[in-house]
């Protein structure tokens, strides 16, 4: 191995990809950005080119870590951009996931490449490509409570379950509820229903403890996917199970919520530290979470956003009695949320609306039972406005979609979010949305979106809301935002990314596991093969 050049781990060039229905590939790594956006036609032309066919017989692929090695060092001269070869291998794996294929191998299976001439001559790496390398894995899903879901992480998991491939077995832990039956999503999805005592704070703690104990003593899983950092202390229990790898997903920072007291904040901070320490792989739905981490912790993290379900405009939802609410379809302002709490910003909207002299009525929908003090203040404020209509309940997805489709403008004034499913669902319904300029919203709508207002500023919200109600271009703006988000937030691609993380984490120790629990690649793994390729030559 040459010593004059920088040694780079074989997955150092692994990038994150988003692929839309048109097969346009978007990469976020500087090396891959230099290759530009590769569409399906471009990929087909590359893979069917005479140069590619000539090179296929002399290329080897490592079974364990997907490092693409060459049997002949002369292959370098045959490619105009050596970095593109790494892109091709991974992108084709993504495309085959979208097609529902069981194998994502681009090249014929060969013996794993170990230390020796082949590895020393390696000049290109494919990174850890997304693919179905470990069939029939058993994966536990923990951290949610109910399905069908109404809001939050439960809705995220429900969408993921609908798009997970049938090549693996998924077991979802849920609260036992005689009034609710989990949906039938296929033979590869099963449920474990566990009881828990009543109580706002006691019930979730006991439920998650029972989930961890069941997973530890009874379940036979390769991977446990834990949603919410609240379960960080329970991850310590899960680490006691030999061979179980833990994938953890952040859905926000609960300790920053104003509703928690000092003891609860301390517990949640301790839980997050345990979450980061004991999970083998960590993901976050919000890019801002990763940007706030110290450099030493970033290596374990992956930004995997939530997805958006496309809702065709010609399909109507369940009927909603607009007349009973005194509303006219297409002529009301809408605010909707799951659990109503102060961070949702309803008080800012009411301040802007009551003093704004709007001709349209305001419809407020949400669960008012979560924060009693805040809910009572909001109800009192709504009673002072005869133009405000309140619906104090969670609507089913079909009814909520109907309500969103018929609003004139949706207002999203949240002060704090992770990555809001509600915002994505409004966008998918092709309705204009006025939203706060918090970082998580900017990641979705973009910084140049015309209907952003300063978070917490009721006067600015009033100004932007008047603008959205009066402008004729709100329809085209909503359609353009939908087209952009459809490219970036496809549930099929996002589910494939999670499956890739499961498979990488679930690989046996020494066979290319993604981390060793400390966020680093094990040195004994084939993934620790080092490359002496000069990074400048790849660009």
- Element containing residue 40 per DSSP (H, E): helix 40-47
Q: How far is it, in rounded angstroms, from Cα 485 to Cα 207?
A: 36
pLDDT at residue 378 in the model: 94
Phi and psi (nearest 5°) for 190? Answer: -130, 165
pLDDT at residue 276 in the model: 87
Residues 6+ apart with CB under 8 A from 379: 368, 390, 392
Spans in the chain with pLDDT lower than 50: 1-40, 55, 58-85, 87, 90, 94-133, 509-539
DSSP 3-state percent helix, strand, coil across the chain (nearest 5): 40, 15, 45
pLDDT at residue 30 in the model: 37
pLDDT at residue 48 in the model: 63
Residues 6+ apart with CB under 8 A from 43: 23, 25, 88, 91, 92, 95
3-class DSSP state for residue 372?
helix
pLDDT tens, 273-307?
A: 888 889 999 898 887 777 777 666 677 788 889 99
Q: What is the DSSP string of 236-285?
A: HHHTTSTT-EEEEEE---GGG-TT--HHHHHHHHHHHHHHHHH-SEEEES
Q: How far is it, in rounded angstroms, from Cα 310 to Cα 158?
A: 15
pLDDT at residue 539 in the model: 25
Q: Do domains 138-303 and 323-488 have the same CATH topology?
A: yes
For residues 304, 306, 312, 316, the Cα torsion angle rounded to the nearest 10 degrees is 160
Cα atoms found within 13 Å of the Cα of residue 418, Cβ hemisphere only:
25
Q: Where are the domains of the chain?
A: 8-132+518-538, 138-303, 323-488
pLDDT at residue 486 in the model: 84
Contact by Cβ (8 Å): 249, 225: yes
The reply to whether CATH 3.30.470.10 applies to domain 138-303 is no
CATH superfamily label, 323-488: Glycogen Phosphorylase B; (3.40.50.2000)
pLDDT at residue 59 in the model: 43
Give the distance from CA 508 to its chain's centroid.
Answer: 26
């Amino acid at each position: 191995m040459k010593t004059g050049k920088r040694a780079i781990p074989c997955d150092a060039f692994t990038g994150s990809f988003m692929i839309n229905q048109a097969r346009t590939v978007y990469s976020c790594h500087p090396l891959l950005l230099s290759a530009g956006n590769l569409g399906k036609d471009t990929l087909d032309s590359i893979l069917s080119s005479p140069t590619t066919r000539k090179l296929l017989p002399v290329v080897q692929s490592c079974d364990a870590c997907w490092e693409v090695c060459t049997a002949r060092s002369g292959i370098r001269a045959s490619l105009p951009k050596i970095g593109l070869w790494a892109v091709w291998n991974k992108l084709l794996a993504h495309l085959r996931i979208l097609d529902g294929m069981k194998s994502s191998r681009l090249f014929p299976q060969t013996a794993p490449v170990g230390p020796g001439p082949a590895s020393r001559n390696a000049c290109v790496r494919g990174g850890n490509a997304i693919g179905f390398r470990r069939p029939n894995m058993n994966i536990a899903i923990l951290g949610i409570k109910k399905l069908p879901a109404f809001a939050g992480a439960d809705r995220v998991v429900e969408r993921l379950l609908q798009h997970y491939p049938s090549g693996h077995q998924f077991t979802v832990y849920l609260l036992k509820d005689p009034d609710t039956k989990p949906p039938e999503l296929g033979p590869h999805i099963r449920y474990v229903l566990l009881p828990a005592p009543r109580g706002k704070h006691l019930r979730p703690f006991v439920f998650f403890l029972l989930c961890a104990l069941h997973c530890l003593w009874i379940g036979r899983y390769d991977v446990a996917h834990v949603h919410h950092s609240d379960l960080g202390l329970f991850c310590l229990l899960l680490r006691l199970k030999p061979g179980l790898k833990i994938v953890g997903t952040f859905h926000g920072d609960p300790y920053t919520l104003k509703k928690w007291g000092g003891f609860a904040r301390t517990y949640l901070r301790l839980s997050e530290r345990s979450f980061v320490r004991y999970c083998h792989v960590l993901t976050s739905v919000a890019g801002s979470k990763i940007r706030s981490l110290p450099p030493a912790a970033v290596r374990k993290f992956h930004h995997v956003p939530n997805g958006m379900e496309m809702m065709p405009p010609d399909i109507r939802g369940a009927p909603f009695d607009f007349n009973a609410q005194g509303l006219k379809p297409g002529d009301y302002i809408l605010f909707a949320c799951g659990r109503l709490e102060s961070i949702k910003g309803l008080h800012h909207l009411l301040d802007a609306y009551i003093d704004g002299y709007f001709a349209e009525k305001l419809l407020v929908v949400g669960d008012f039972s979560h924060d009693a003090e805040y809910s009572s203040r909001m109800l009192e404020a709504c009673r002072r406005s005869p133009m405000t209509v309140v619906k104090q309940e969670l609507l089913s997805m079909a009814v909520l979609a109907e309500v969103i489709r018929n609003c004139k403008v949706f207002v999203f004034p949240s002060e704090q979010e992770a990555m809001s499913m509600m915002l994505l669902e409004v966008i998918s319904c092709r309705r204009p949305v006025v939203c706060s300029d918090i970082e998580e919203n900017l990641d979705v709508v973009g910084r140049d979106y015309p209907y952003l207002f300063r978070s917490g500023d009721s006067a600015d919200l009033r100004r932007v809301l008047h603008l959205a109600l009066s402008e004729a271009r709100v329809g085209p703006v909503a359609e353009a935002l939908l087209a952009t988000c459809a490219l970036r937030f496809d549930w099929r691609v996002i589910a494939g990314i999670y499956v890739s993380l499961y498979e990488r984490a679930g690989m046996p120790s020494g066979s290319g596991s993604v981390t060793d629990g400390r966020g680093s690649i094990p040195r004994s793994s084939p993934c620790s093969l080092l490359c002496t390729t000069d990074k400048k030559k790849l660009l």
